[in-house]
Structure 1
Amino acid sequence: MFHQADLFDQIKQAPLAAAPPVLALADLVGRVSQVSKRPRYVLLILNLIAKAAGENGSLGPYVRSKADQVPVRDWLCQAMAPLANRDCRRTAMIAAVRSELAAKADASENADDLAEQQDEEIEARILRSGRTNVSRAVSDLVRAGLLHRHYQGYRVDHRNRGAQREAVYTIAPDVRLALAGGS
């Protein structure tokens, strides 16, 4: 008798691609602690981005804050600013700004105007240093492979900053799942 081999027996089954390992929150902490000098701050930034990101995992270039749209980096800076209220460097900076502006003030200046000017300068300095801190934290997250950053703006999407382009942050799906408590 003639026995014909089944065609499907001859085709070798391709091994199923292994599913990527599911990240746990402890894995995120470990990866961040390897690349960052301030892992707690970086994890707070990551969590804020994850909570505010859209369905596609992206946040930016602008975020609605109260009544207007602000750049994502400024929004993160404003969200993180209260953490440093009791920091000795923050209190020293506030005292320095107040004394500098008081020394420059004319005798004819109103006390209310001087106080408003001091408050504006303090806010500007906090925002400037906060932007730097947020940028460093995001760079740590990019290095850890937890976040992707690109720039979007005036003419076309472009990977380089400048020319009226603002940052957009995108979190990997497995990272979002880990932060949501899915693992």
Structure 2
Amino acid sequence: MDEPQDKKQAKARAYQLFKTLFAAEPGRVFTETHTLNGKVYHGFDDEIGLQMLQAEPDLLVEKAKINVTYFDMLSKAFAHSLTNDLDIPQSVKIFMADYILNPKIKPHKKSGRPGNNDFNKTLRLALTELKSAGIPPSRNDEFSPQAIPNGTDIIMTILKDLGHEGEHHQTNLQRRYYREMKKFNSKTNR
């Protein structure tokens, strides 16, 4: 029996999402949106950091002292400013000099392995695409019979075809998907 066209198209789109992910420069797959002092900044994280550095350098430094995300944005903006001979505010120079002399001032990340946000977002988009075509994301979903390939089975095949199977396995993908969906839903329900 031939597979329905919508399932074939969903699989092709999922394949293309991962192909694009692996072809892209790290950190250049998805843009982000952040707010600082009521102003919205949009772009890749290094671009956002530079926008914030130019608009609110002192506030960015204060945030960077306590939040690793802002610290990373400030660091990238600082490096970009140095390499492109841009003006760097004194507060930023002092903070980054302090960091160079004492790296322990960098805020701590949450414990656990660092996530791969680009991979997780791609996984969420691919599994959502497959789900919309009637392919359940995982065997944990009540309507997924064991014999029919589910979304994570299809993603494993795609990763293998693209040579990126590596550390990924069925339960890892399922866990990442549900964690990403929870994070995504909490952001959209604000």
TM-score of the aligned structures, taking structure 2 as reference length? 0.28
Higher relative contact order (CA 8 A, sep 6+): 1
Compare the two structures and name the one with the higher strand fraction: 1
Which has the larger helix fraction?
Answer: 2
